[in-house]
Structure 1
Amino acid sequence: MAHVVEILIAESPATPALPVPEVRALPGVGLEGDRYALGVGTFSFHPQKPDGELTLVQMEHIAEFARRTGLPFTVREARRNLVTTGIDLNLLVGREFIVGDVRIRGIRLCEPCNYLAKQTSPEVLRGLVRKGGLRAQILSEGTIEVGDAVTEVVANTAASPTAALNVGPQSDSN
């Protein structure tokens, strides 16, 4: 099942992204306590853009990048807010989904930037293209916890308003 593995909050661009067990998501603001919600993030000069409210990254992509390059690069160095597993985040661009009790819209890919390369390694610029995560807009206020499922909102479904997105590698037992 697609779910949240870790939640990371950084109070400023200069502080490390630290894990928290849960976080409050605020529409039009971001994650409570995070640098972008506080208006001090590296890209906070675009407050009218909703794609700075929340970032997500796939644990699988970060682990594969570290293996391939031999760099000690972890999800914390990626500096995204939510670390997920079992889901292809690229497929959520332009779609609504739910994490915990929070409704979210995928806005665009979160490609690696020069700031991240300066903080870690220039290799991230090439190595994480289309694997750097997802920028998203928070549509409803609520709490996100480690372990929460990631589910896509599905229209016109009589049985359930959501369906689990398990779009990662599948096995015969699924």
Structure 2
Amino acid sequence: MKFNAYIQAIYLAASAGKQMLSVSTAKVIVGSGLEGDRYALGTGAYSAIEPTKVRHVSIIALSAINTANDWLTAGDEPTFEGSETRRNIALAGITASELNALVGQRFQLGDIQLLGTELCTPCERPAQLLSRPSFMEAFEGRGGIRAEVLNSGALAVGDKLFVGEEE
């Protein structure tokens, strides 16, 4: 698959419920995730849930955020900033359905190899933290994906997405 997708934003939070902070680069640790992020540290809201899931990195399409916000605006509801979705990476240049199709696929962001593990179904966490119950409905089918980190290195805003033979 050929995409012109790239990292538009990177977000980290040190622990569950803390505000997601925007960073221009992030160190990536194989088998763990983004250095300093709650899930790499084991302090995420869902870190102790059994059975455990791979929560190394969460990725959302910027177009999905825009579509959800259009839906919310039409209903006179407050919209969400990228950081408020509680996802680590926002990708520009890809649709929600194209991103969702990466579940079960190996792909690369910059020099980091990833495996899409599952859809990141909208949960109550962002809705509860911001007292905005419309999150789950607005982001249904466009909540992004979770991915397993397959090698260590660094990610930066602007890094491109490669899928399949392009790697």
- Could you tell me which residue of structure 1 aligns to residue 68 of structure 2? 65
Q: 2:83 aligns with which of 48, 71, 76?
A: 76
Q: Which residue of 2 aligns with 1:114?
A: 124
Q: Describe the shift of the 1:132–1:9 C-alpha distance in structure 2 as closer, same or farther (beyond 3 A).
A: same
Question: In structure 2, which of residues 30, 40, 64 is the aligned counterpart of residue 27 of structure 1?
Answer: 30
TM-score normalised by L of structure 1: 0.84
From 100, 105, 125, the equivalent of 2:115 is 105
Unpaired runs of at least 5, structure 1: 155-160, 163-174
Residues 28 and 50, structure 1, Cα contact 8 Å, conserved in 2? no
Within 2, Cα distance between the matches of 1:35 and 1:29?
10
* 1:157 counterpart residue number: none
Deviations 1:120-155 (A, max 9, x none): 32111112111001111001111110000011133x
The SS at the match of 1:8 is strand
Tell me the secondary structure at the aligned position of residue 92 of structure 1.
coil
Distance in structure 2 (CA, Å) of the matches to 1:14 and 1:91? 29
Percentage of pairs with the same residue: 33
Confirm whether residue 146 of structure 1 aligns to residue 157 of structure 2: yes
Q: Counterparts of 1:120-159 in structure 2 under 5 Å?
A: 120=130, 121-154=132-165
AA aligned opposite 2:119: L
Counterpart residue type for residue 129 of structure 2: Q
- Tell which has more relative contact order, 1 or 2 (C-alpha 8 A, sep 6+): 2
SS of equivalent to 1:40: coil
Residue 104 of structure 1 and its aligned partner are, at CA, apart by 0.2
- Indicate the RMSD between aligned Cα atoms, in angstroms: 1.5
Which 4+ residue blocks in structure 1 deviate beyond 2 angstroms? 46-51
Instruction: Please give the alpha-carbon distance, in whole angstroms, between the structure 2 residues aligned to 1:132 and 1:75.
Output: 11
SS of the equivalent of 1:119 reads helix
Measure the CA separation in 2 of the matches of 1:48 and 1:127: 27
Give the number of the structure whose alpha-carbon radius of gyration is greater.
Answer: 1
Larger helix proportion, structure 1 or 2? 2
Structure 2 unaligned spans of 5+: none
Distance 1:42 1:153 in 2: 33
Q: Deviations over 1:48-70 (max 9, x none)?
A: 84520000001111111112212
For normalisation by structure 2, the TM-score amounts to 0.88
Instruction: Please say which of residues 115-124 and 138-147 is displaced more in the overlay.
Output: 115-124
Q: 2:15 aligns with which of 12, 16, 19?
A: 12
Distance 1:141-1:47 versus aligned 2 partners, 3 A rule:
farther
Per the TM alignment, residue 14 of structure 1 is displaced from its structure 2 partner at its CA by: 2.5
